[in-house]
Amino acid sequence: MHTRITPPEAAAMLALALQGGHVGPEDTALVIHDLDRLDARAREAVAAFPPGTLHAVAVKANPLPPLLRRLAGLDPALGAEVASLPELELALEAGLPPGRIVFDSPAKTVAEIRHALALGVHLNADNFQELERIDAAVAEAGAPRGTVGLRVNPQVGAGAIAATSVAGAFSKFGLPLDQCRGQIVAAFAARPWLTGLHCHVGSQGCTLEQLVAAARAMVALAGAVRAAGGRVQAMDIGGGLPATCRDDDPKPTLADYAAALRRGCPGLFAGPHRLVTEFGRAIHAGAAFAAARVEYVKEYGGVRCVVTHLGADMFLRPCYNPADWHHDVAAATPDGVLKPGPATAQAIAGPLCFQGDFPSRRAAAAALEPGDWALLLDAGAYTMAMWSRYNSRPMPAVLGLSRGRLEVLRPRESVADVLRFWRGQG
């Protein structure tokens, strides 16, 4: 199975939803996940890495409970990486045991730390002050039920997207390796319960060379820790593998990444530790698309402006930072047939009240008309997860397709649902 949903596949899935009665006149937008493709991506990760690796899929990429439950039951090598207490609860509700959950956050409270230690999840501390909070919790309640790691910035350089690069000379995350190497080694030697190392390079704009260099830095640091009498039982190399979002710019596969690690950092797979990954975008992105109904088309000043019902409420990054984030667009007729015709440059506008609300400023697709559907591809990660309440528009319905059958993963929000959100009612 190829990585991405193609325009013909997206149109066929939309047509199936329309024919099956899953789309009513009030459904001005929807999201459809190819669940079989999601399974294949997760299994690809499991197959590419050594047995015993925990693939803690980032909940922040897509927190929909049916998807979390699906991944939780697919393979015991799959888990969840969480960055907040609600994400932790979502992972537990999905059926994941604490030992398959990794808790990362640079701002954990004392209560959150104590809760995580009591549950037995793998907790990655972000800094020395957090280690001191864990010291106090251990002194009071005894050794953690799970493993505890320490996040390190390997300082292998920033990627192409500054806002999602976290391994430059400065990062808000973790401890800078060059400045804190001795203190890090000493922290492990002084704490028998500190047995994990964690790093993350960034998201989407990072190269294989940077990812492998970070792993090498962690393996070398683990050697120094062991030489000083400490233990490293878990090696968490984070996520960051980019997803392909343009046919003319293919990104490495999960198998490519694993092969590069074997070549450039053989000690990572051979060491006396459990390997942990935190893929999110690489698993989810290409396994879903969004469909937005075209309401109006305006053509002035040489710009063909297609007004739809999805914008920066769902596609925050391409709207606010179009130079770095991209979604291919395809055109479908009102009944879900892929539109023929030459690729026409058109601006896909969202419904929100600001001028930057363009998920795609220069989409190349057959000319869209009112009533058509704009199909925005690679929408499985960092889209619904980043939903904005600006203009108080309801979330669209989310469907899942598996073995030719559609199911509702999340129903469309009603106006009453949005009002309950703002009123704070349950």
Q: Which tens digit of pLDDT belongs to each residue from 62-72?
A: 999 999 999 99
Distance CA 111, CA 130 (A): 12
pLDDT at 205: 87
Instruction: Please tell me the predicted confidence (pLDDT) of residue 271.
Output: 84
pLDDT of 166 above 60: yes
Q: What is the pLDDT of residue 251?
A: 94
pLDDT at 1 over 80: no
> Which distant-in-sequence residues (6+ apart) come within 8 Å of 32 by Cβ?
10, 13, 14, 17, 288, 289, 291, 398, 399, 400, 401, 406
Average of pLDDT values for 174-185? 98
Q: Evaluate the CA torsion angle 225, 226, 230, 235 in order and state its sign.
A: positive
Q: DSSP per residue over 204-216, as a string?
A: SS--HHHHHHHHH
Mean pLDDT across 354-372:
97
Is the separation of the CB atoms in 244 and 3 below 8 Å?
Answer: yes
pLDDT for position 138:
98
Instruction: Calculate what percentage of the chain has a pLDDT beyond 90.
Output: 95
Question: What confidence score (pLDDT) does residue 26 get?
Answer: 94
C-alpha 375/C-alpha 337 separation (Å) is 11
Query: Using CA atoms, how far apart are residues 201 and 179, in angstroms rounded to an integer?
Result: 17
For residue range 209-249, what is the model confidence (pLDDT) as tens digits?
Answer: 999 999 999 999 999 999 999 999 999 999 999 999 998 89
Tell the residue number behind the tokens 């925050």, with chain if given. Answer: 316
All residues at 6 or more sequence positions from 132 whose CB lies less than 8 Å from its CB, including other chains: none
Which pair of structure tokens corresponds to residue 29?
Answer: 């937008």
Tokens of 400: 């899942």
Handedness of CA 395, 396, 397, 400 (dihedral sign): negative
Confidence of residue 15 (pLDDT cuts 50, 70, 90): very high
Q: Which amino acid, one-letter code, is at 52?
A: G
**What confidence score (pLDDT) does residue 3 get?**
84
Question: What pLDDT is recorded for position 49?
Answer: 98
Tens of pLDDT, residue by residue over 242-252, are 999 998 899 99
Q: What per-residue confidence (pLDDT) applies to 297?
A: 98
59 contacts 81 by C-beta, under 8 angstroms: yes
Other CB atoms within 10 Å distance of the CB of residue 419: 11
Give 34's pLDDT tier (boundaries 50, 70, 90). Answer: very high
- Helix residue ranges, H only, 205-292: 208-227, 254-264, 266-270, 281-284
Residue 426 has pLDDT above 80, yes or no: no
What is the DSSP secondary structure assignment for residue 253, as one 8-state letter? P
pLDDT at 425: 77
Instruction: Check residue 219 and give its pLDDT.
Output: 97
Q: For 307-335, what is the mean pLDDT?
A: 97
- The domains located in the chain, with CATH, are 7-33+286-423 (2.40.37.10), 36-283 (3.20.20.10)
pLDDT bucket at 280, cuts 50 / 70 / 90: very high
Exposed/middle/buried for residue 344 (C-beta within 10 Å: 0-12, 13-18, 19+): middle
